[in-house]
Structure 1
Amino acid sequence: MHKLMTLANAAALILLSASAYAADTSDSPARKQWHQSIQAGYQTLATEANRFHTTAHDYCKSPGPDARAVAEQAWIDAFLAWQKVRFVDFGPIENNNLAWQFQFWPDPKNLIARKAAFLLESTEPVSPEVIARSGVAVQGFPMAEYLLYDEPLNASEDALPAPKTCDLLSAVAKHIATNSKQLSNQWQSFRKHYLTTNPYRDTTIRSAMTALEILEQRRLAQPMGMRGNDKRSAYAADAWRSGTSLMTTEATLQGLGQHFLPGLTLLLKNSNRPELAQRIERQFDEVLENFPGLHSPMVTLLSESDAFSRLQNFYVDVSQLTTLVNDQAAVELGVVRGFNSSDGD
């Protein structure tokens, strides 16, 4: 009897191991695709961030309208490259609050402006060490946006190319470039652990789910007055100073479509749900078809009736996409919804 029990247990273990192995191998193509694609996104970020640092330095060295325009475009290109990989909220990006260093947002207390004023008024020279110890509100794309685009600052004696403001812009751009290169290198080193650790399948899916929820609830519904105090406010959106709030939204959706959707499609096809994969692909296409009609500053989209109507239609399309991914695909793949960071304030 004991031998029979032992044989039964052994058989059960073999079956369990075979099942686990099958699950692992079925998930591997998706994880390989995700890692490779995110690596490409991080490398693009590193390249664009380095170009922003170079153009900011060149502008401050030889100021002029053309050099300023080049630096501003380089900031936009690097910022949009960040938006495309912004959904990745695990792995190396968790080290040293890197995500917050790239983009301190939301900023309801206007801490970025206050930090900039403090640094510009201080007698201490701006240096990499000062940037490193000044906190995440100073270290990323929103601070550079403030220096380049803030109207009150640009009407003051501290407007670029004032020497200290230029020093701050160059130092922040260098910090972004350094972090971008580090992130790309660390993600490459993370490859083996990512590919051999099965829970990263669900972690990757949850990161996209959270990104869609934040996009729907925080980046769209809140400025539109559909969340909180029911008042429309462009200041609740990210990148409002540069008027690129909807460009960043488009970039986030493009990034999800490029870096996340192909892996999700593989998993759904392996789960015998190719029709759901096709519906999600079509919905991504439909959402992105709203552009470039929405390439306007958020203040314009909120204040003009026709523009706001287009924004509402876009919001509905994003909501439908979120439902397909977060409620249908996630359930089909057995992904349990985790804590949604967009629910808190």
Structure 2
Amino acid sequence: MQSLTKTVGIAALILAPISGMAGSQPETNNNAEQQWHQGILKGYQSLAAEAGDLSAAAADYCSAPEQASRDALEQAWLNAFLAWQRVRYVDFGPVESDNLAWQFQFWPDPKNLIARKASYLLDSEAPVSSEVITESGVAVQGFPMLEYLLYDEALNASNNALPAEKTCGLLRAVAGHIEANGKQLRDQWQAFREHYLATEQYRDTSIRAGMAALEILEDRRLAQPMGLRGNGKRSVYAADAWRSGSSLRTIEATIHGLEQSFLPGLTRLLKESDQPELGPRIENQFKDVLEHFPELHRPMAELLSNDDAFSLLQGFYVDVSQLTTLINDQAAVELGVIRGFNSSDGD
């Protein structure tokens, strides 16, 4: 009897750590998911607030179209657009409803559909209203349409240049649409919390969102304009936000967004993995990537046309590639996350 008791006791000691480990993984996952949800919520709250300021700035400018109100409008557009870039990587949850991501940013636009849609609306006799914007499709509804109205050279040299009445109507309607979508996304994400935390698959879904964002950033937002993909020719038109010259600022904002709301949850998971050293390595690589700014706060056209400037862009690209490798090929593998099929085939 004593021998049996001793055997049971030894078995209990052996099984105790295993049981403890089994219980700790769900807790670690849940803690990471709580960090992700809260980080993304802060990003959506910022987007909603900046979109509200943008809508107000559009109304102010059209009421009193002076240089000061124009400057304030352009700054408000940039602030709101960068707020979107910081949460742009989130490709699941409420942002999937009604093509919300595409409503905020229609890109890429190889057929220049934004310009064509703007011309149609501005040249038609029908007034521009919120209903017209809702019915006109994603090419009309987001930040790139406002960028076109503010920065397109051909438009600004025409009779439709701001503050033309019809163009101001389009400006205000689109800004109002972005504001409404920003508030909707903020509120829906907050309501999504319980389902997000209770659904096991969102751990891997959240990691894949960061992976896909880095693939898109490296391959399509950098490599393609740089001529490292496709036909091998440098082309500013392959970049997003080329009209305003803010392509690199948007990339910086996306990296900041990943660092602020994606990285904390990822490093928490890695800390409990077999390779806890990966977390600090990834944190340091984020720092290396961001050290290229503010020197890269230049229009993409300038960086592509000047070989000395292009070398700065090449160094940045290498650091982004190393970050992508660390997360997509090492951290994801360590955490058992399989890259989704065609994960970079959309934006």
TM-score, normalised by the number of residues in structure 2: 0.93
Alignment of 1:103-182 (within 5 A): 103-182=105-184
Runs of 4+ residues over 4 Å off in structure 1 = 15-22
Residue 196 (structure 1) aligns with: 198
Residue 187 (structure 1) aligns with: 189
**SS of corresponding position for 1:139:** coil
Residue 63 (structure 1) aligns with: 65
Structure 2 vs 1, CA of residues 344 and 50 (structure 1 numbering), >3 Å: closer, same or farther?
closer
2:36 to 34, 37, 47: 34
CA distance in 2, matches of 1:19, 1:135: 50
Residue 8 (structure 1) aligns with: none
**SS of corresponding position for 2:107:** coil
Q: Structure 1: which 5+ residue stretches go unaligned?
A: 1-14
CA distance in 2, matches of 1:43, 1:344: 25
Residue 307 (structure 1) aligns with: 309
**SS of corresponding position for 1:89:** coil
**SS of corresponding position for 2:244:** coil
TM-score, normalised by the number of residues in structure 1: 0.94
Q: Structure 2: which 5+ residue stretches go unaligned?
A: 1-14
Q: Tell me the CA shift for residue 20 of structure 1.
A: 6.8
Alignment of 1:165-244 (within 5 A): 165-244=167-246
**SS of corresponding position for 2:344:** helix
Sequence identity percentage: 69
CA contact (8 A) 2:106 2:144 kept: yes
Alignment of 1:66-77 (within 5 A): 66-77=68-79
Alignment-mate amino acid for residue 221 of structure 1: A
Aligned residues: 331
**SS of corresponding position for 2:79:** helix
CA contact (8 A) 1:271 1:333 kept: yes
CA contact (8 A) 1:210 1:340 kept: no
State which drifts further: 20-29 or 62-71.
20-29
Q: Tell me the CA shift for residue 18 of structure 1.
A: 8.8
CA distance in 2, matches of 1:259, 1:344: 21
Q: Tell me the CA shift for residue 275 of structure 1.
A: 1.0
Q: Tell me the CA shift for residue 24 of structure 1.
A: 2.0
Alignment-mate amino acid for residue 38 of structure 1: I
**SS of corresponding position for 2:248:** helix
Residue 259 (structure 1) aligns with: 261
CA contact (8 A) 2:245 2:300 kept: yes
**SS of corresponding position for 1:274:** coil
Q: Tell me the CA shift for residue 17 of structure 1.
A: 10
Q: Tell me the CA shift for residue 273 of structure 1.
A: 2.4
